[in-house]
Structure 1
Amino acid sequence: MSFINKVVLVTGAGSGIGEAIAIHFAKLSARLSLVDIDAENLRKTADVCEQISRVKVLTTVADLCKDNDVKQAVDDTVKEFGRIDVVISCAGIYKPGSVLDSDLIEVFDHVMATNLRSVVCLTNLTAPLLEETKGCIVNISSSTSIPCAIQSIPYSAAIAALNHFTTSIALDLSSKGVRVNSILPGIVKTNILQNSGMNDEETEEFYNKASTPLKRILQCDEIAELAAFLASDKARAMTGGSYQIDAGLALK
């Protein structure tokens, strides 16, 4: 599998799944446009990718909740490479939220803007470019949208909406030769819980208590490998799918 001369735009590339995806595509010789709100971590990912691929990696520091930042990331990519072949949306946050919380609407709006609206905006801007290259989109969702988690209204709602959005745009873009799929990871050890406000002890306790039918926590590399497959010609007949990789979590 190779992505030589293919331009791959990855959001959330500064850490976690997005970082792993960027590094995996660097190993597959892709030309990379990496986007993240964290400039320091984004540069670290880019440095690793450049060491692997021996070619320049484009980085754009962006708050994807801001439409102009999303547009800047797309414009920078086109200016640098002249095309976009693959768009992988990994940027996302988790914030707990109960219907009884006094700040629910504020939290809900923030999560929806980050996990859903930013993807809609990015897709709207890149779809015409992907039509030109007959490219594809891979959205990183979550298995959490299937069995809803307790006190997780904003996150679960955003993820469920993202899955439906993926299906809808797959239908819209199929006649244009553009494929769209989503990946639904289960429990993956990233920094998403720390970023939600959990301390290290709480985070470690969560992972220690995590239980799946296959009795394992996923590695980011596993998500990256599936993303590369879905973006490759090996998946040329696959569109509109939501692919679980969750060690059986959705079966519980």
Structure 2
Amino acid sequence: MSFINKVVLVTGAGSGIGEAICLHFAKLSARLSLVDKDAGNLKKTAEICEKLSRAKVLTTVADLRIDTQVKEAVENTKKQFGKIDVVINCAGIYKPASIFDANLIEVYDDILSSNLRSIVSMTNCVAEELAKTNGNIINVSSVSGAFKCALYKASAGALDHFTASVALELASKGVRINSIAPGVVKTSILANAGVDQEEREALWNEASSSPLNKLVKTEDVVELAAFLASDKAKAMTGCTYPVDAGLALA
């Protein structure tokens, strides 16, 4: 599989699944536009990608909760490469919260703006460009059993529904959109949320007892992302594909 001359925009590129996807697409010779709000992590990812692809990588430091910064990331990509073929939305956050918390609505606003609103905004900004290239969008959400926070689950479910709902409208322009719903993957998302090491280990151990008795690895996700982004998936749109070692079945 090759993405030579294909322009791939990846959000959440600085760490976790987003970083792994960037490295994989660099190996597949994609022309990369990487977006993250953490400038240091973004630079590290870009440097590795440039070594793998032997091509210049575009980076944009952006907080995708801010519409103007979403537009900037898209405009930078268009200016640098002249087109966009694939958008992979990996940026997102997790925050533990209880329905009894005094700051619940504040946490809700933060999670939904990061995990849903930013992707709606990105889709709005790239739709016309993708129509020109018959491109596609891949959203990274989560299986419902991955984390116990109701707000996080709500954001993932809403993203999957958005993907399915907007697929018909995008299909009329020749654009595909799909979601990938990973199970529990060992990334920095829990540490970033302030979850301590003991709790993280407990969650990973619990998830390891999935029907396939394993944790999902980033390579499990990136292989599916590459397939969905390729012409091999040209008849696939509007669906969510779990990569969870059977976690949702348990």
Matched, 1:182 2:179: yes
Q: Which amino acid in the other structure matches residue 162 of structure 1?
A: L
- Output the aligned Cα RMSD: 1.1
* Match runs of 1:132-171 below 5 Å: 132-144=132-144, 147=145, 149-150=147-148, 152-171=149-168
Q: Structure 1, residues 75-113: CA drift from partner, whole Å, max 9, x if none?
A: 100010010000000001001122111110000000000
Aligned runs of 1:206-245 on 2, under 5 Å? Answer: 206-210=203-207, 211-245=209-243
Moved more, 95-104 or 83-92: 95-104
Partner of 1:205: 202
Matched, 1:7 2:7: yes
1:1-252 map, 5 Å: 1-144=1-144, 147=145, 149-150=147-148, 152-210=149-207, 211-252=209-250
Return the alpha-carbon distance in structure 1 between the equivalents of residues 66 and 223 of structure 2.
30
Gaps of 5+ in 1: none
Instruction: Give the 3 Å change call, closer, same or farther, for CA 110–169 of structure 1 in structure 2.
Output: same
Between stretches 188-197 and 199-208, larger displacement belongs to 199-208
Give TM-score scaled by structure 1 length. 0.96
Structure 2 unmatched runs, 5+: none
Worse-matched range after superposition: 203-212 or 163-172: 203-212
* Structure-2 separation of matches of 1:243 and 1:209: 22
State the Cα distance separating 1:175 from its structure 2 match: 1.2
Q: Identity over aligned residues, as a percent? A: 62
Counting matched residue pairs gives 249
TM-score, normalised to structure 2, is 0.97
- In 2, the alpha carbon distance for the partners of 1:51 and 1:221 equals 19
Residues 145-177 of structure 1 deviation map (CA, whole Å, 9 limit, x = unaligned): xx4854x12111111100000001111111111
For residues 113-157 of structure 1, the C-alpha deviation after alignment (integer angstroms, 9 at most, x for no partner) is 00000000000000000000000000001112xx4854x121111
